[in-house]
Amino acid sequence: MADFGGDLELEDFRAEARAWLEANFPASLAGKGLAALTDALVDSPEFSAWKKAIGEKGWATPTWPTQYGGGGLPPAQARVLTQEMARIGAFNPLMFGMGITMIGPTILDYGTEAQKQTHIPRIVRGEVRWCVGYSEPNAGSDLASLQTRAVDAGDHWVINGQKTWTSGAQWSDWCGMLVRTDPSARKHDGISFMLVDMHQPGIETRPIALIAGASPFCETFITDAVAPKDALLGQLNVGWTVGKRLLQHERASQTGAMGGGGRTVPLHEVARKYVAVDAHGRIEDQDLRTRLVRHQMDARAHALTLVRAAAEAKEANGATNAASVLKNSATHVAQTRAELTLEIMGAQGLGWAGEDFNREELETVRGWLSGKAMSIYGGSAEVQNNIISKRILGLPDTTHSS
């Protein structure tokens, strides 16, 4: 589909998107957002109906090719769709998985036509859940030291090893896994990327309990698991390249570039419920006012940079180094908002349970705690700073004192 050149055409699409959303998005889900999802909500008829509707429409993956079930929208229309979803508090129900944020885009980049036909339509419709098997107990930031082995057994692969911090593994149907296929090669050169079925006896997942109460992370134990020969994504022993591309997609999803959904209540509106205001309705605490404004400026600058980075990526036919900048920027914006919200709510923002706290207050402390992980997952802030310093600023790998 060709991109639209004028505002009039975009407004026509806005009217179309608004009408479709009003007809298909359940009002009871408005404002929930991904952070508010619970097992009960995900299992509800309203959530299931919304996931089915947006999946069949292709708008959960609005810019993906129509031949695989995507929306086929140009970026300008996709942005309008995101705006209209935010206007009514709608959210993308597939964004909480890794199918559309990481695995799907990587299959579109490197997959054979058969792999695309097999996996992409089911990802678009939300029929399967994916996880990513990267980190290991002795291969975290130094991921290339991974030791999970895939051995060629003739007509299939046999996989043995252990992964950790495997987000959502306990709920997943498939895993995009980095494995070592040539132990004799240099560590970056002997790695391959496999698409592995999680529903087999050789795979065991054990959730890791977190301080926030939820357990999205797992240890994953792989014992003589099998994968067909066509499970290989990309070329044999060139999985490090595929893996890096997936991380670019992951970081893009963590910056807000892909949209998430849910309506974010402005912090000054939250503040008016909990802190003193003057006769003009302004927050009395001048220091708090100043920090709220600074946060709003940071959030706005981040949003504008997202648009610029998307345009640059389109011109470069792929993700650019800006994704590393935006990942840290998104982390800063999100964590600052969480800290300010907790400060504004005071003791009401520290409740863990009980009738003295409403749902928003109970979610605040859990969101604040779970948001600490943003500094680590998808590549730690320090790793991103190294990437920025070397690839963008051109600084040397090491510095030496004179």
**250 a catalytic residue:** yes
User: Alpha-carbon distance 282 to 271, whole Å?
Assistant: 10
Q: Which amino acid would we find at residue 366?
A: R
Residue with tokens 């900048």: 325
Return the SS3 of 312. Answer: helix
Instruction: Check: CB of residue 283 under 8 Å from CB of residue 277.
Output: yes
Q: Which domains does the chain have, with CATH numbers?
A: 7-93 (no CATH), 128-238 (2.40.110.10), 265-392 (1.20.140.10)
Q: Which of 9, 136, 204, 250 is catalytic?
A: 250
User: Alpha-carbon distance 274 to 269, whole Å?
Assistant: 9
User: Alpha-carbon distance 61 to 84, whole Å?
Assistant: 15
- pLDDT at residue 396 in the model: 85
Q: Which residues contact 363 (CB under 8 A, 6 or more apart)?
A: 35, 36
Q: End-to-end CA distance of the chain, in Å?
A: 58
Instruction: Check: CB of residue 166 under 8 Å from CB of residue 144.
Output: no
Alpha helical stretches, state H, 208-285: 239-254, 267-274
User: Alpha-carbon distance 86 to 79, whole Å?
Assistant: 11
- pLDDT at residue 362 in the model: 83
Q: What is the DSSP string of 11-22?
A: HHHHHHHHHHHH
CA distances from 131 to 163, 195, 241 (A): 11, 10, 19
Split the chain (402 residues) into runs of 10 and give each run's mean pLDDT: 58 95 92 61 86 94 95 92 90 84 95 97 94 91 91 97 92 95 94 97 90 78 97 96 88 58 71 87 90 92 79 59 75 91 91 86 83 76 81 74 46
- pLDDT at residue 6 in the model: 54
Please name which of 344, 395, 393, 392 lies closest in space to residue 368, comparing C-alpha atoms.
344
